Copies of this chain bind each other. A is one copy, B any other.
Amino acid sequence: MTLTADAIWKDVQAIRQQSPLVHNITNYVAMEFTANALLALGASPVMAHTAEEVREIVGISQALVINIGTLSPAWIQGMREAMAEAARRNVPIVLDPVGVGASQLRTGTARELIEAVPPRIIRGNASEIIALGSDAQKTRGVDSSATSSQAYETARALSKRYGCVVSVSGATDLILQGDQELRVSNGTPLMTRVTAMGCAASALTGAFAACNPSALHAAAHAMAVMGIAGELGAEQGHGPGTLPMHFLDALHHLSAGQLQARLRAGE
C-alpha cells in the first residue's frame, strides 16, 4: 500500500467539485470549527442531532460523522438512528470515540454504537483507540497520553473485529484495515494545543470517504491533508490562537504542489 500526493490531490479536487454534504452529530465544542473545516476543504456541512430529523438528514447526505464528545441520552438516541439509517442507505460512517475511557457512559456508548452498526472508519487518538479496544487503558480526558504505535495491536484487533478502517492520530498517524497499513507523519505538535483539531480530522475523513470508495485511502488522505494544512497554518500563525484560521485558509488554498512538497507518508 502506498500513499501518493497525486491520489490525495485527486480526492481534494473531487471534494471541491462535488461538495459532498457531510452530516455531523458532534460535540458542542467542535461544531463551529468542524463546519468551517469542511467548508474550507470544499465540502458542505450539516449539523443535526435530534432523533426526529436525523434519518431525513442522512437521506440527503454523502457521509455521516459521529463524535461522542459532550454526550447526553437524547443525543445518543439521535446517533443510533442516524447510524442505522446510514447503514440502510450505505452512507459511509466515521465514528470518533472522543474521550472514550474517561467515563462508563462514553465507553459504553462508543462500544454499543459500533456493535450495532460497525462504522466504515473509526478515527481517534491513540489513548482513545486503546481504551475502545481494551479495558486496561484509562484515558485522561480527551488528550492522548499514548503514541499511535502503542495503539497498533488494539487498532488491528478492532479493524478485524468490525471489518472497518481504524485511523489513529499521533506524531505519526497510523491508518489500517486488516493487514493493510498506511502511515502519515505530517502535522505539528502545536495542533494538540488547539481544541477540535481531532474532531475536524474526523469530519474531513467523512468528506474524503464521501468521494473515495476506498475507506483506507480516504482516511489516510484526510490525515495527510490535516497535517499539511496544520503545518502551513502553524507557519503562518504565531501560536495556538492564530493557527486555526491559517489552517482553514491553507485548507481552502491547498495545491497539488504543496501536497507533493510536504507529504511524509510511509507504510
Question: Which residues does A use to contact B, with CB under 8 Å?
Answer: 21, 27-33, 35-36, 39-40, 44-50, 52-53, 56-57, 60-61, 69-74, 99, 102-106, 138, 140-143, 193-196, 233, 237-242, 244-253
A50→B249 contact, CB < 8 A: no
Residue from B74, B99, B238 within 8 A of A46 (CB atoms): B99
Given A39-B240, A248-B240: A32 and B103 interface contact (C-beta under 8 Å): no
Contacting residues, chain B, for A103 (C-beta < 8 A): 48, 52-53, 56-57
A32→B140 contact, CB < 8 A: no
A47→B69 contact, CB < 8 A: yes
Number of copies of this protein chain within its complex: 3
Given A47-B29, A141-B21: A57 and B102 interface contact (C-beta under 8 Å): yes
A-B contact pairs, 19 of them (CB 8 A): A21-B141, A32-B32, A32-B195, A35-B195, A35-B196, A39-B193, A45-B141, A46-B142, A48-B103, A52-B103, A53-B104, A57-B103, A60-B138, A72-B74, A237-B249, A241-B245, A241-B250, A242-B246, A245-B245
B239→A40 contact, CB < 8 A: yes
